[in-house]
Structure 1
Amino acid sequence: MFVVLLRFAANRAAAPRLMDGHNAWLRKGFDEGSFLLAGGIEPKAGGAILATAASRAEVEARVAEDPFVAEGVVAAEIIEIAPGRTDPRLSFLAA
């Protein structure tokens, strides 16, 4: 399980121009089952994604495909979590 933090970076002003590509990238991640949750970091500091993958390298490769990352709109931080305890509603994360 991975938490991907996408914090705004130096090229933040390019976000509107790249938004369609970023949204297509997010849609692809959800369609392929890699992304479980995505949303904004408040107050307007960037975004965060809860992702699944077979390896960290797989997540890194997927994140590198985000136009926001490629164009320096955001800086990505990937945090790997080994779920050991979950609320019953999230038991599928511990599998």
Structure 2
Amino acid sequence: MFILELTYAAPLDRVDALLPAHLSWLEQHYADGTFLASGRKVPRDGGIILAVAPDRPTIEAIAATDPFVPAAVATYRITEFLATTVAPALAPHRETLPA
């Protein structure tokens, strides 16, 4: 499982101009099952996405397609972790520790 942390690198008016494209991008990845939760950070200096993917290169490639990235309005910090304990709703994404 992955935590994608976005940090805005431009004024909010530039971020807001790209928000419709970013939201469409989010919807695409919710539909394909990659994204599990997302939202703005408080204070509003970026956002967080909880995601699942087979490996880090896949998640890095997905993050690179966020419309915020080529426009240079946000950067990503990606943290991978093993979700060994999960709420019932996330049971399909429960992971086991390597042997």
TM-score by length of 1: 0.88
Give the superposed CA RMSD. 1.6
**Residue 50 of structure 2 corresponds to which residue in structure 1?**
50
For 1:67, give the aligned amino acid: P
TM superposition outliers: structure 1 runs of 4+ over 6 Å: none
How far has the Cα of 1:92 moved from its partner? 3.0
Give me the whole-angstrom Cα distance separating, in 2, the residues matched to 1:58 and 1:11: 29
For 1:9, give the aligned amino acid: A
**Unpaired segments of 5 or more residues in structure 2?**
none
How far has the Cα of 1:90 moved from its partner? 3.7
How far has the Cα of 1:11 moved from its partner? 5.6
Counting matched residue pairs gives 95
Q: Give the conservation status (yes or no) of the 8 Å contact 2:3–2:79.
A: yes
For 1:53, give the aligned amino acid: A
How far has the Cα of 1:91 moved from its partner? 3.1
Identity of aligned residues (%): 35
How far has the Cα of 1:88 moved from its partner? 4.5
Give me the whole-angstrom Cα distance separating, in 2, the residues matched to 1:12 and 1:66: 16
How far has the Cα of 1:12 moved from its partner? 4.6
**Residue 68 of structure 1 corresponds to which residue in structure 2?**
68
TM-score by length of 2: 0.85
For 2:21, give the aligned amino acid: G
**Larger helix proportion of the pair:** 1
**Unpaired segments of 5 or more residues in structure 1?**
none
1:7-50 Cα deviation digits (max 9, x unpaired): 11136542122111101100001011100001111011111000
Instruction: Work out whether 1:79 is the aligned partner of 2:82.
Output: no
How far has the Cα of 1:86 moved from its partner? 3.0
Q: Give the conservation status (yes or no) of the 8 Å contact 2:9–2:74.
A: yes
